[in-house]
Amino acid sequence: MFRLTDFTYEGKTVFLRADLNSPVENGRITSDARFRAVLPTIRHLLEDGAKVVVATHQSRPYKGDYITTEEHAEILSRLLNQEVEYVEDIFGKNARERIGALKPGEVIMLENLRFSAEEVFYKPIEECEKTFFVRKLTPLIDYVVNDAFAAAHRSQPSLVGFARLKPMIMGELLEAEVDALSRAYESDDRPRVYILGGAKVDDSLRVAENVLRNGKADLILTGGLVGQIFTLAKGFDLGDANVGFLHRKGLLELVDWAERILDEFYPYVRTPVDFAVDYHEERLEVDLLGGDKRLFDEYPILDIGSRTVEKYREILDSAKIIVANGPMGVFEREGFAHGTVGVFRAIGESPAFSIVGGGHSIASVYRYNITGISHVSTGGGAMLSFFAGEELPVLKALEISYERFREGTDKPKTELSLLFHQ
């Protein structure tokens, strides 16, 4: 796959697909973490004399954080210490004229890509090529740089549509992500521990099944709703309040799948030994073996308990590889952050090569100033797809583009290995 250093960009127009999709409260962006993550790529392009067209999506139609990219341009301007002009258009006449008028060293920000209906659906490369978005912009750009690892599991026009039409290049963030995840997945160091939490239960089950069946993990620790589903699969009763909640979320149907994983890999999947419930706005821990489990009938589980944190800490202390996705509980509430903070701090203190990913996981790492983690991934869904052994459309598109354009680069290339597993 192409890297940034394989080309020179003086006077060239570069379409930079980033993922600046950020949390929003009261109509304002509350974190600039994803903006900071793409700064090295943008600075590399600007220092080389490129004309940069930044494109990103923000949320989905009809959601509360579905906003324009005007504030995205403001944030990027502040971080780059130069103007990033917001263009209230995606591929229409206004956008095309502004792209055509760009001068070397200038940056513009296109409108939220998901304001275009073509960008909402997943289609193969062949169909993405035919979209108005790709057909209108292709004549105006020289290179496509993709730094949107968090969207790498999606096949949409802005992500894969240019692959056979223009050289498509990994940005520095995407390259670092793929290198780190490949290192963890392919490593023979042992023990290799995966921590699966949060609410993406089906994705986590796919990861568990893949890494255990293919000998990529020695142990899996669970928390969040993932931990609750595995706990039910082990035959424990989590009470009316919690079983009812899982039912409303449509997650109870996954218990059978979790049971099948346990039947095949039982000793290698660990579940919480205690949970913390919201008992009249206070944290109350309930032991699965010796506690008053009747509390589960009335009070919701919002975290793993202290004994579980200590058991997980002992395991993580001796790990060589750690991959974690998703929090252990509702860390946004201070009284129920103990599990997530305790486990993530144990990851940071471990000598292992460690990766933590997922939007909520990243938020907790920064909120509680947790240090020592080797790599904090910007992609939750993409990271889960990677470790589930699934092909990521963006990485496949990068490979296709490399094969098509590798004879036309400006600089002699070093050997480029395939950075992702089949």
Q: Please tell me the least confidently modeled range out of 36-45, 194-203, 374-383.
A: 374-383
Cβ atoms within 10 Å, residue 285: 18
CA–CA gap between residue 219 and residue 212 (Å, rounded): 8
Q: Where in the chain is the domain with CATH 3.40.50.1260?
A: 2-170+391-408, 178-379
SS3 250: coil
Per-residue confidence (pLDDT) for residue 408, from 0 to 100 = 60
pLDDT per position as a tens digit, 281-316: 999 999 998 878 899 999 999 999 999 999 999 999
Alpha helices in 115-171 (DSSP H): 125-129, 132-137, 157-160
> What pTM did the predictor assign?
0.90
Q: Any bridge partners for residue 29, and if so which?
A: 24
Is the bond into 393 cis (omega within 30 degrees of 0)? no
- For 178-379, which CATH class? alpha beta
CA angle 82, 365, 394 (to 5 degrees): 65
Sign of the torsion formed by the C-alpha atoms of 320, 315, 201 and 19: negative
Residue 152's nearest CA partner among 391, 402, 326, 399 is 391
Quote the radius of gyration of the chain (alpha carbons, Å). Answer: 23
Amino acid (one-letter) located at 279:
Y
pLDDT digits (tens, 9 = 90+) for 9-38: 999 999 999 999 998 989 999 888 899 999
Distance separating alpha carbons of residues 367 and 361, to the nearest angstrom: 10
Q: Which CATH class is domain 2-170+391-408?
A: alpha beta
